[in-house]
Amino acid sequence: MIKSDIKKTLKELAQLVGGEIAGDESVVIGKAAEIEDAGEGDIAFIANPKYIDRVSTTKASAIIASPDIKVPGKNFLYVKNPYLAFAKVLAILKPSPKPYKGIHPGAHIHQTAVIGSSVSIYPHVYIEKDAKIGDRVALYPGVYIGKGAQVGDDAILYSNVSVREGCFIGNRVIIHCNSVIGSDGFGYAKDGMRYHKIPQVGIVRVEDDVEIGASVTIDRATLGETVIGRGTKIDNLVQIAHNVTIGEDSIIVAQVGISGSTKIGKRVTLAGQVGVVGHIEIADDVVIGAQSGVTNNVASKGILSGTPAIPHKDWLKAATIFTKLPEMRKMLLELEKRIKELEERG
């Protein structure tokens, strides 16, 4: 259960999220909770009609739901997208804590760095020569901003984030703890029995409204830019290699690995543990299922699964056969034996 210091009437919440009320609009809401745990003064939500039985038993003072959910005696806030409305209500009832404004004396800032207004720079932040920090930026303890790097307005970089030299972070970007933006790309030239490091002289460009989870690594380009498109959301523990381009509003789920120079379109979803080989292209609006391996270009939108990734419907058919393979092998061996016996008799 998420507690709140703010209270709103159901009518006020409906006005804020653009919904309609069925029931008592004056009921006061102070907390958001899961529907099973909710009590008096709480608001819960239901996104799937198959869980309507939980609405009948909940003690929540109000429920966010789609208009087709109707249970007598309950207060409803009806919206087209209950999940989105619930997210907005959470932000209203429990806004994120605001960092203090100012520069802590324990931060190191190079004299040539440019720092915007109303920033929050915590102790042990290290900002290198010629770096630029925008307005209202929050840099938490242990953040490193490399030489000539730029961080846009309203960005939040949590503890121990590193933005390496020359890299660019757009406006309203959020980067969670221990992520590294601009580590060297994995590039080596074979020199006999040894490997010679290829200098990685490009940058990473993270466009506006991107969110990057914890312990993500995004490698700088060998030449040019590694680009994360506007509005893309990246989960924890993701590896993005040098010169990758990811289009706008894509979703990259945990433990995805994307090899170098791959181009990913707009609104693409890569589910958990997807692996993508290098130097291929994935079209706009493609969804790749969890633990899939993408080894070739994906030329048009669709849903793919498996390794190598194939259309999801085909993969489902193939998956039903996997468990039958031992039995099928046994049958084939028996058929071979019978055929051999018939041939010997003939």
- 10 Å CB burial of residue 126 (0-12, 13-18, 19+) is middle
In degrees to the nearest 10, what's the CA dihedral of 21, 23, 28, 33? -80
The answer to whether the bond into 308 is cis (omega within 30° of 0) is yes
Angle of CA points 263, 265, 268, to nearest 5°: 120
Question: What is d(CA 80, CA 230) in angstroms, rounded to the nearest whole number?
Answer: 25
**Active site residue ranges:** 242
The residue among 220, 216, 237 whose CA lies nearest residue 147 is 220
Question: What is d(CA 130, CA 149) in angstroms, rounded to the nearest whole number?
Answer: 7
In degrees to the nearest 10, what's the CA dihedral of 254, 260, 265, 268? -10
Q: Where are the alpha helices (DSSP H) in the chain?
A: 10-17, 52-57, 82-93, 312-322, 325-345
The residue among 143, 112, 151, 147 whose CA lies nearest residue 126 is 143
Asked if residue 139 lies in contact with residue 145, where contact means CB atoms within 8 angstroms, the answer is yes
Question: What is d(CA 185, CA 167) in angstroms, rounded to the nearest whole number?
Answer: 13
